Structure 1
Amino acid sequence: MNRSRIVAALGGAAAISLALAGCSGGGSGGGGSNTLTIEDYYQANYDPIYKDCAGQVGAKVSINHIAGAGLIAKVLQQASSKTLPDVLMLDNPDVQQIAATGALSDLKDYGLSGDGNVDGVTKAGSYKGTLYGLAPVTNSIALYYNADMLKAAGITPPTTWDELRAAAKKLTDPAQGVYGFAMSNINTYEGTWQFLPFFWTNGGDEKNIATPEAAQALQFVVDLQNDGSMSKSSITWAQADVNNQFIAKKAAMMINGPWQLPALNAAKGLNFASIPIPVRESSQKIVSPLGGETFTVPNTGSKDKMALAGKFVGCLNSEKMQPKIAQVSGNVPSNQKVADAWAKTHEQVASFVTTVKTARARTAELGEKWPTAATAIYTAVQLALTGKETPAAALEQAQQQNK
């Protein structure tokens, strides 16, 4: 996400499949060089990780960082022109869409599997039962709170919706411009990503988003706004904006991810902690969306290069490398055993380690059709929060898009 970034639906899948079917060789993996080309939307702080694994598998690396918004368009162009990189990073919701074009190879061909990983990680990297991508680290979202504000108000961190609503109302101070709660309800996939814990945990289903359970979840978010506990500006806030509100102490609690920790830790005088997002009933288990980027081995036509790329992806996903990547990214190791050990020494991500155990891949139910549902969901949230429709009516209207 992203790290919560979810890429829009891809077009031209059939055309790409035909182009790949006619590929008998070439691509970026051609030739006898042991240099692997890597493509991602990360920044240069990942380069030492790549060079570490390259050294371990006897390779060199040529790294190409692409802006996130342009990565998928670039991949589609590369697939049609047979110039795919040797190692391709994809946001996990994009794996199924790209795999459907025939652009990716089966990771089991390189002896790789998702054994030991959080279940959602393997599902997110799979398409029609075949594993195409593995994520060394993963993430989700949790409830951050300003510990000093809660203590001053005599509030225990909330674990249920009722507790969250009551706490948010008590922590709101209009005179100081302070809201008790903040989340992103923007009309992009970030808005869907942040609403999903309420939607899924309460029994919402993306095959039919217009259910009483979904309406109940959306009504809860509307109630937070109507109470005055959540700013009406949340419909325009991305997750970074929400984080800025929290850092400025204009929001006492917020929903956000572990990728915000560097900024939070750098903020002077900010005493914060996080817990899993509250649920409607204490008997419920939180179901949040699973974030994180996967590494894949594209079909370049060069079996030797693809085998070397497979070793490289295996190195990135090893139990040895996952903590190193978690340290760089602020995310959670995907291997359950490694994640549990990581939480013991990294208290700030403990809530995320708990959350990802029951987190769900966004493409788990609808596969490559997920973006249509994601659009319908954030559309419903916008309609309800702007008062154009009731939550139930907003969901009914948005469901018409979700066909």
Structure 2
Amino acid sequence: MHNLFIKRFATICSAVAIVASLAACGGSNQSANTIGFWDPYPQKNASSTWETFVKRCAPKGYKIKRTGYPQSDLLNNLTTAVKAGNAPQIALIDNPKMPTAVDAGLVTDIKAAGINTKGYDSNIEAPGIIDNVQYGISYGSNALGLYYNPKILEKAGVDPASIKDWASLNKAIEQVVASGSKGITFAGISGEEGTFQFLPWFWGAEGDLKHPKSQAETDALNLVSDWVRKGWAPKSVSTDNQSAAWDAFLTDQYGFSENGSWQAESAKEKGYGMIPIPGKSGGVAPVPTGGEFITMPTQKKADKNLSKATAEVINCLVDGDNLKKTNDEMVYLAAKRSVRNQQVKENQIWAPWVKPIEQAKGRTSDIGLKYEDVSAQLSEDLQEALNQR
């Protein structure tokens, strides 16, 4: 969700000391009964529940070798591995990077490999379907919302239910600041993470990524930069990532914070509430889909048995009751409505997130590879707006 973009042609490891570079960038050759599994969760070590969860999906006679890479490194390493002929059988790729992976020939048609792709939400799956071919499956998504501190809002006389559009949001922030608290935190850091948080305001003003230079962009930039100019948001937003923005909100000095569903449990512990991000003129602003796609990387040597076993692993992660278990493990909302409903039934913290997830938009769904340039331009414009003095 919130990662820096690589360029279309990823940097390849140096040809010098090839053995060492392959070890660093692409792993090593593995036995025929080993299924390589790469994901962008290096924080989940060998003793994590995720590691155990993944490995239990190994078919009889096979074992899974899981490797976690930083999100910013995974696609570079996969590029090297595919070229070297030692790619893993499974790789989890951040959803806006799917067009890049497809364009570089790094991933294959998973539907043709026997993955069950029926019944998933089209808005969540869209970034993985390119030229009518499905190259990955997204089991679930995270999303952005507007958290609030109920104690601060109560002191300021603000009813969160009254926030329906930008005008009522600005009025609420103004009341919060007038009552002696601080206004709002968000992440405006340069790069994709800042663009990710800016998009709900851009889309909420009826922006279209096909035409980024528009009145919608101007309106959205004016909205967030005015928060800084008026002192409602800290000047640090231009360098704050989502973690920093959340840490500021946890000080209980701010009334609002734009942040992700991955903070829902933390918010519950603190007694915070959440409302969907409002559109400029009302309604719920679309937010970007977050999360990863499970893909089957391109192999230089075809192995029918290994490919079949790989499909079994993926189906194990997403079929039936396991779809809910996978999403619960990753703290995502499932890409199937029936499973989301079950998640909400079991844990009410997910209830306010259903609408944002169901109305979310893929960043690359409409413009594919062009999103890299559009995202960079939006980021540059956002930086300029936030740093005006």
Write out the 4+ residue segments of structure 1 that deviate beyond 6 Å after TM superposition: 27-30
Give runs of aligned pairs for residues 151-230 of structure 1, distance below 5 A. 151-157=154-160, 158-172=163-177, 178-230=181-233
Q: Which ranges in structure 2 are unaligned for 5 or more consecutive residues?
A: 12-26
2:114 and 2:85 map into 1 onto residues whose CA distance is 25
2:66 and 2:30 map into 1 onto residues whose CA distance is 17
1:164 and 1:150 map into 2 onto residues whose CA distance is 12
Per the TM alignment, residue 151 of structure 1 is displaced from its structure 2 partner at its CA by 2.1
Q: Is the 8 A contact 2:318 2:326 kept in 1?
A: no
Per the TM alignment, residue 28 of structure 1 is displaced from its structure 2 partner at its CA by 7.4
**1:368 to 1:359, Cα distance in 2 relative to 1, 3 A:** same
Aligned to 1:315: 316
1:98-152 deviations in Å (ceiling 9; x for gaps)? 1122221211113335432222222111222111111222111011111222122
**1:48 to 1:96, Cα distance in 2 relative to 1, 3 A:** same
Q: Is the 8 A contact 1:185 1:238 kept in 2?
A: yes
Aligned to 1:84: 87
2:73 paired with 1:70: yes
Letter in 1 for 2:93: L
Q: Is the 8 A contact 1:135 1:294 kept in 2?
A: yes
2:320 and 2:201 map into 1 onto residues whose CA distance is 32
Aligned to 2:21: none
Aligned to 1:278: 278
1:289-345 deviations in Å (ceiling 9; x for gaps)? 000111111122322212211121122122312221222222111112111221233
Aligned to 1:18: none
2:376 paired with 1:375: yes
Q: Is the 8 A contact 1:29 1:302 kept in 2?
A: no
Q: Give the 3-state SS of the residue equivalent to 2:244 in structure 1.
A: helix
Aligned to 2:141: 138
Per the TM alignment, residue 31 of structure 1 is displaced from its structure 2 partner at its CA by 5.5
1:141 and 1:285 map into 2 onto residues whose CA distance is 11
Per the TM alignment, residue 12 of structure 1 is displaced from its structure 2 partner at its CA by 5.9
Per the TM alignment, residue 59 of structure 1 is displaced from its structure 2 partner at its CA by 3.5
Give runs of aligned pairs for residues 258-273 of structure 1, distance below 5 A. 258-265=261-268, 270-273=270-273
Aligned to 1:295: 294
**1:371 to 1:47, Cα distance in 2 relative to 1, 3 A:** same
Q: Is the 8 A contact 2:144 2:287 kept in 1?
A: yes
1:223 and 1:124 map into 2 onto residues whose CA distance is 33
Per the TM alignment, residue 174 of structure 1 is displaced from its structure 2 partner at its CA by 9.2
Q: Is the 8 A contact 2:116 2:315 kept in 1?
A: no
Aligned to 1:397: none
1:339 and 1:6 map into 2 onto residues whose CA distance is 29
Q: Is the 8 A contact 1:135 1:317 kept in 2?
A: no
Q: Which ranges in structure 1 are unaligned for 5 or more consecutive residues?
A: 14-26, 389-403
Per the TM alignment, residue 209 of structure 1 is displaced from its structure 2 partner at its CA by 1.4
2:32 and 2:292 map into 1 onto residues whose CA distance is 29
1:336-393 deviations in Å (ceiling 9; x for gaps)? 21112212332222222211111111111221221111110011111112227xxxxx
Letter in 2 for 1:385: L
**1:62 to 1:173, Cα distance in 2 relative to 1, 3 A:** farther
Give runs of aligned pairs for residues 32-71 of structure 1, distance below 5 A. 32-33=32-33, 35-42=34-41, 43-44=44-45, 45=48, 46-54=50-58, 59-71=62-74
Q: Is the 8 A contact 1:140 1:355 kept in 2?
A: yes
2:387 and 2:182 map into 1 onto residues whose CA distance is 18
Q: Is the 8 A contact 2:157 2:175 kept in 1?
A: no
Aligned to 1:395: none
2:93 paired with 1:95: no
Per the TM alignment, residue 260 of structure 1 is displaced from its structure 2 partner at its CA by 2.1
Paired residues in the alignment total 365
